[in-house]
């Protein structure tokens, strides 16, 4: 067996994972329409990859205003819960463990995606000019557009959103998920509250770092109370800037990202959540996270630590062996190789991902990547 450290069992919350290889959240835009529901095709896609020790669903909007890209799935209607049940049943039948990623894009949306064509919502009325939304322009066709100018949330609306996260977590458990991951990364709503660049509020949710972390803290506490902290993880992108084809995501790097995100991780430690997931820059030749930051994360957090960001099996195994990571996520390699753990273990060659079929479409580039034939 190659890279043995990736194949030792590990506890995550109340579950023993069969390996340390993670299938991470990956937006694919193939939900069934109308209704943004998980489809039979999606159930097959996730089932094919259930040999991962741990899986996290693609970003799943917690309410209609949380959508920034056409054809992404939700988890706020009974039909959506039923659709996800097909996915979780398929994954569990093949021995997988899967969490739902709870997502709200905040200002990274367009009025065409919003109920009644309204403005997107955000901590402050600051437009996301370095990101793109994706709107439908016809049946099965769409285009990338500049997000619309958002409006600032009232304090009462922020409190309501905290409740929506808790409700979505409850819906996820009803749909058969083993837990949930709060998406607090990639410049989306929770990240918008954390960041000094997008949060210019002068009330209890803005200004100081403690205030900018308040929304995260309230969501974590509400979700942990609803489903239990052992079924909860959170994803951050401390130093994340990347381009992906024509889509541009800016993960708003803070003046002192180490202080910002170590304090954010302390919020998770206080709540006793199961894991923190750190997504790194994922373009070719991107700089690595500083080792001191990794050590600070380990010192601040007693739960499991997941890293993602164009890892090779060798590099991921070294991080696990150094005690700085517990699990390693592989995104594009898992898209193109549904049997990725077996390929890593045996040293088999990898399929290449087809960038043209990443977002939207049919089974092509989704469920038709072949397993390795020895």
Active site residue 188: yes
Parallel/antiparallel/unpaired status of strands 247-250 and 241-244: antiparallel
What is the C-alpha to C-alpha distance for residues 351 and 337, in angstroms, rounded to an integer?
A: 6
Which residues, 6+ apart, have CB-to-CB distance to 184 below 8 Å?
190, 191, 194, 216, 234, 235, 236, 264
What is the C-alpha to C-alpha distance for residues 39 and 48, in angstroms, rounded to an integer?
A: 14
Check residue 64 and report its DSSP letter.
G
Selected catalytic residue, list 188, 205, 311, 359: 188
Burial of 6-36, coded b for 16+ CB within 10 Å and e otherwise, reads bbeebebbebebbbbbbbbbbbbbbbbeeeb
Which residues, 6+ apart, have CB-to-CB distance to 79 below 8 Å?
35, 37
Rounded to 5°, angle at Cα 237 from 107 and 134: 35
Which among 131, 87, 77, 86 is positioned nearest to 106, based on CA atoms? 131
3-state SS assignment for residue 98: strand
What sign for the dihedral angle of Cα 281, 282, 287, 291? positive
What sign for the dihedral angle of Cα 80, 333, 238, 143? negative
Token duo for residue 226: 């609803």
Active site residues: 188
């Amino acid at each position: 067996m190659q890279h043995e450290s990736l194949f030792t069992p590990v506890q995550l919350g109340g579950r023993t994972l069969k390996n340390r290889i993670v299938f991470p959240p990956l937006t694919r835009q193939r939900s069934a329409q109308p209704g943004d529901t998980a489809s039979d095709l999606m159930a097959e896609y996730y089932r094919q990859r259930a040999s991962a020790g741990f899986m996290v669903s693609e970003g799943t909007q917690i309410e209609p205003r949380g959508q920034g890209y056409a054809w992404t799935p939700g988890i706020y209607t009974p039909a959506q819960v039923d659709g996800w049940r097909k996915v979780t049943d398929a994954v569990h039948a093949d021995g997988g463990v899967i969490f739902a990623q709870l997502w709200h894009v905040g200002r990274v949306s367009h009025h065409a995606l919003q109920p009644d064509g309204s403005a997107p919502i955000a901590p402050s009325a600051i437009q996301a000019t370095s990101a793109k939304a994706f709107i439908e322009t016809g049946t099965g066709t769409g285009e990338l557009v500049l997000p619309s100018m958002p409006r600032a949330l009232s304090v009462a609306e922020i409190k309501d959103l905290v409740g929506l996260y808790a409700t979505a977590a409850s819906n996820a458990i009803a749909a058969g998920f083993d837990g949930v991951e709060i998406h607090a990364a990639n410049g989306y709503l929770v990240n918008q509250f954390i960041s000094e660049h997008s949060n210019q509020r002068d009330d209890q949710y803005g200004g100081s770092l403690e205030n900018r972390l308040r929304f995260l803290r309230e969501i974590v506490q509400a979700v942990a109370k609803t489903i239990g902290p052992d079924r909860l993880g959170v994803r951050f992108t401390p130093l994340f800037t990347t381009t992906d084809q024509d889509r541009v995501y800016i993960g708003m790097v803070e003046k002192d990202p180490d202080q910002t995100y170590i304090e954010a991780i302390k919020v998770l430690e206080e709540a006793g959540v199961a894991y923190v997931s750190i997504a790194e820059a994922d373009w070719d030749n991107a700089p690595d996270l500083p080792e001191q930051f990794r050590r600070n994360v380990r010192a601040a957090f007693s739960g499991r630590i997941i890293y993602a960001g164009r890892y090779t099996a060798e590099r991921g195994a070294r991080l696990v062996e150094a005690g700085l990571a517990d699990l390693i996520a592989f995104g594009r390699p898992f898209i193109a190789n549904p049997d990725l753990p077996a390929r890593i273990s045996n040293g088999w060659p990898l399929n290449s991902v087809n960038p043209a079929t990443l977002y939207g479409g049919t089974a092509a580039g989704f469920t038709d990547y072949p397993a390795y034939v020895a």
